[in-house]
Amino acid sequence: MNVKNLGLVFLLIASTTVFAQSKDSSLDLGKKKYAAGDYKGALTAFTKAIQADPSNATAYYDRALAEIELEDYDAALKDTRKFHQLQPQDVDGINQISYLLLVKEDFKSLIEWSTQMLKSKDVDVVSNAHYYLGISYSNMKVYDKALFELTKVLASKPKDTDALYARGRLYIDLNKYGEAIKDFSQLLSVDNKHVNAHFWRALVYTYLDKPTDALKDLNTAADLDSTLTYIYDLRGDIKLALADTLGTKADYDKAIALGSDPDYDLLYKRAMLAYRELDDNEDALVYFNKVIAGAPNDYPDIYSARGYIYVDKSLFDKADADFQKFHSLDSADTYVYLNWALAKQGLKQHDEAIRMIKLYLTTKDMSEQSLLYAQYIMAKEMYELADYSHAIEEFNKALDIDTNYGELHYWLAKSLIELKMNDEACAHFEKAHELEYAGVKEDLIKHCGYSEGAFENEED
């Protein structure tokens, strides 16, 4: 060896040693940062390790793990494929590619990849390939192929919880509820702490009209994990069907509190619970307003319900606006016209109120009570317009349905008085009095010859 080159040799040896130490220290540092939850720091360290040695398979795999934590799935897939290229027999790399394709919902690529893995001599790799094929076909709604692949897994591994769960979910999509129950039950016999198996079996029980069994599963699921909104949401639905309104309220409120983003379906149900079941209009308004603020066009009947509340609060202008909005979203619904007529009535828009009632009377299959109420409103509006003859006709139509409403008799009598038909009017004033309608005594005295003392022995 040329003596004058000896120093260069020592320099190269020293550089190689430093290079190796840098590579290993970066990898170790990356692992430490990853374990500490510093995924960005881990990513930087693993990148330095790769730069030091581009053939370091472990560095690519570990960097992919950090990228998964940072939800950079494209980068993670690229690194895992590089790892697989360097270590083609490593099962972890194969499984991670499958997992990442699933996370990216790239089912076409997942099918291609899994089909390649069927050629493996590793039994577990082949089993996983069938599983991912089943998952892919299920998401693509190719149910026959999905069922074939998942059943293939379970033929060799009958207690595979992932395959049992996936096939149970698939059976739900196929409306094969009995088979779904069997798979979820088999899964729970292996792992009785599988929260989602309890949840989905509960959902199937609701389809089978078995609310008690559903509640048992949901109670267990809530005990296992009290942070999942969908458990309380479904349990609230079941309690509502069982007329446990307070229990429903508690579960819906729990689900809403747990949710990080507004769930407008849930808020809508909570609003309707307050409105229909709890008869708490103020509470209902809180949730109606939340839904309308976030999803103004998705739930038309919220405007109808809120409009009714505004009518009840004599906020007729707001009610009118809500009924108009409802009509713009659902013009086919004729039931809205009855309450809309009340808003028009409150706004003294009598012609409009009559028009609304006429539209309401086109409704099919309305109850007699609704028909009576509509005709009463129509008659009252005609009275306000001094159209007494038509008012009398409508009051009589309402009385043909039910003659035991003092208010109907009273206003019919008022209309008859306007047409100087005092004898008939007095007969209806007397009937209204008999039915204990308040305020009729003055009319009996004024129009029908009753004295002040005629009512002295009556209780107030």
CATH code, 315:
1.25.40.10
**Average pLDDT of 260-269?**
96
Name the pTM for this structure: 0.81
Own/partner pairs for 90-93, CB < 8 Å, 24+ apart?
90/57, 91/122, 91/124, 91/125, 92/61, 93/61
Closest CA to 313 of 294, 335, 288: 288
Do the beta carbons of residue 151 and residue 133 sit within 8 Å? no
Domain range for 67: 17-104
Instruction: Report how far residue 344's alpha carbon sits from residue 347's, in angstroms, rounded to the nearest whole number.
Output: 5
DSSP state of 42: H
pLDDT over threshold 80, residue 315: yes
pLDDT over threshold 90, residue 118: yes
Axis-axis angle for helices 39-52, 57-69 (nearest 10)? 160
Proportion of the chain in helix, strand, coil states, percent, rounded to 5:
75, 0, 25
* In a domain? residue 440: no
Both tokens assigned to 336: 């809205």
Instruction: Give, for 55, the enclosing helix (H) or strand (E).
Output: none
* In a domain? residue 347: yes
pLDDT over threshold 80, residue 460: no
Instruction: Report how far residue 235's alpha carbon sits from residue 377's, in angstroms, rounded to the nearest whole number.
Output: 42
pLDDT over threshold 80, residue 17: no
pLDDT score recorded for residue 6 = 32
Q: How confident is the model at residue 365 (pLDDT cuts 50, 70, 90)?
A: confident
Within 13 Å of residue 409, how many CA atoms lie on the same side as its CB? 23
Going 282 to 284 to 285 to 286, the CA torsion angle's sign is positive
pLDDT score recorded for residue 120 = 94
Q: Which residues contact residue 315 at a Cβ distance below 8 angstroms, ignoring those fewer than 6 apart?
A: none
* Residue at which a domain ends, from 335, 366, 397: 366
| Count of structural domains within the chain | 2
* Residue at which a domain ends, from 85, 104, 123: 104
* In a domain? residue 1: no
pLDDT score recorded for residue 24 = 62
